[in-house]
Structure 1
Amino acid sequence: MTVWLRPAACSVAVETALRLTAIALLLRPMGPWYVLPFILCLAALAIVLPKVLRTPATWLALALLVGIRILDDWPLADNHIYLLGYWCLAVALALRTTDISAVLETSSRWLIGLAFALAVLWKALLSPDYLDGRFFRVTVLTDPRFADLATLIGGLTVDELDQNRKALQALPEGAELLNPPLLTEPWRLRALVGAATWGTLILEICVALMSLVPGGPRTRRLRHASLLAFCFSTYAFAPVAGFGWLLLIMGLAQCDPDQRVLRGVYLAAFLLVLVYSEVPWAALLGNWLGQP
């Protein structure tokens, strides 16, 4: 029992990853009232008190609290909440070992690899509406969180986007319009959908392969490069900063002690995702360009 309460000695990379995890928990509060205060308190204490940060019991408690949050919303919790629960449990178990860095590196590599492999399985084999572009066509046009993407890069005007949304509104069961409206899809929108569909899939395949296939220094470099490329591009528009932060944290946990520059890149990426999520940069850029 005492091993769960004994603070561990961590490397800089591991301690940074743990502290960023605690920060992410504070930036994106989650859970019902009987879970949320405990998650926030533990995360705050972990940031302020290094011993709390490095104690296995802290992360075991967080894993249990995240698990309760998942059960409370079963089965509708966001995907990254499940991954967060696994990550907290992996941290708790790693802090009980003699080689924390190696154990956490292996755990984070497998968590990322399996998560991306399952994402590829869903997109490439189980969802016919993904490969033909329907998923992104509908998402970009109907999800208001992607409105800036549709206008800035997709080439739609605000009026055209509004008309497309009306055209895609669901009708009562069995009802059909006599003269259904046509969707406005300029070539830029079609190019955006194609790039998002295949670019996302290719990057996810690369991340999955580089994470699951053991290899030497070259594989490790490609592993970091593919993960960073995915996060830099995806979370510029995807409104799930918590997922991006978690992936970057697990990537940072795989850095060697002497890879200071790489750790700095991961930290910069973490902050960039924060900026992406809090600053409406696409709308501001569109206004600056005089986009209608």
Structure 2
Amino acid sequence: MTLIELLLRPVGPWGILPFILLLACAGLIFPKVLRNPFTWLALFVLLTARIIVDWPLPDNHIYLLAYWCLSLFLSLRYSLDILPSTSRMLIGFAFALAVLWKAMLSPDYIDGRFFRVTALTDERFTNAVMLFGRLSPAELKQNREYLQPLPEGAELLNPPKLIEPPAFRRFTWVATWGALVLEASVALLFLIPIKKLYWYRHFALLFFCVVTYAFAPVAGFGWLLIVMGMAHIRPENRILNAIYIASYFAILLFAEIPWAGAILQWGT
């Protein structure tokens, strides 16, 4: 499923991308290529090259994807028994670092500015903001004009006003603190090495993925977390495996179908 992700969301500049796609296709067609550890080592090298070439602009999950390919190489090369614990630690540390960045290193996140600005300026959130934030298209346009940077020293004669109805404030508050609490929960559950937390880990990760990536326009990150979570499933838990697969495709549907926009149209 990692290879499917690489095909659905290709990554890399033109000099690297063809090789990533070639390996992904070959791995899906030929089982021997899929199980060959050097396939994953090559993908790790290509993804690392992509990070270097695009530095410092690569999406966060590209770093995690590179680490994941390296862990697959090591598991196939030496022992598959290390893969469940490796996936658990990668997920745990990824979420722990996300919490560190948001809670300790980014005051604009804690006070809500990050989501308030992102929700208004990122067009991918337009439908969700209109649906849950109760902003009209005209109000959203006015807010974007308000946030539009001006040349240094310039001032508008009649500057637009920022419109933030209570519903919008609630939406961004829930997004801010809900994400932080969920990420902290996942980090703790995956980093604490207690077997009794097994089911809680999977529930927390699945809940995070389904809720977060219904809104966040980064399906590639959601798919990667789903795949890594599946590596932590015990062989006898087939139903849990099916739930993960269903979640994988749910994220695909969220990414490709503007469900919030459809609800808005249906409501009108």
Q: With structure 1 as the length reference, what TM-score do the two structures score? A: 0.90
Percent identical pairs in the alignment equals 57
* TM-superposed deviation, 1:174: 3.2
Say whether 1:38 aligns with 2:19.
yes
* TM-superposed deviation, 1:175: 3.2
Secondary structure of the residue aligned to 1:205 is helix
**Alignment match of 2:238 (pick from 260, 263, 270):** 260
CA distance in structure 2 between the partners assigned to 1:177 and 1:119 by the alignment: 38
Secondary structure of the residue aligned to 1:67 is helix
Q: How many residues align?
A: 268
Secondary structure of the residue aligned to 1:149 is helix
Q: How does 1:231-242 map to 2 (within 5 A)?
A: 231-242=209-220
Amino acid at match of 2:229: G
- Cα RMSD, aligned residues only: 1.0
Cα offsets for 1:34-53 (capped at 9, x unmatched): 21111111111111111111
* TM-superposed deviation, 1:178: 5.4
* TM-superposed deviation, 1:246: 0.2
Structure 2's unaligned 5+ residue stretches are none
Cα offsets for 1:46-90 (capped at 9, x unmatched): 111111111101000010011111111011110000110000000
Q: Which residue of 1 aligns with 2:205?
A: 227
**Alignment match of 1:49 (pick from 15, 18, 30):** 30
Q: Which residue of 2 aligns with 1:273?
A: 251
Amino acid at match of 2:180: L
* TM-superposed deviation, 1:284: 1.0
* TM-superposed deviation, 1:29: 1.0
Say whether 1:80 aligns with 2:61.
yes
Q: How does 1:6-155 map to 2 (within 5 A)?
A: 20-98=1-79, 100=80, 102-155=81-134
Say whether 1:204 aligns with 2:150.
no
Structure 1's unaligned 5+ residue stretches are 1-19
CA distance in structure 1 between the partners assigned to 2:155 and 2:102 by the alignment: 30
* TM-superposed deviation, 1:106: 1.2
Check whether the contact 2:131–2:260 (CA below 8 A) recurs between aligned residues: yes
Amino acid at match of 1:109: R
Greater displacement, 171-180 / 88-97: 171-180
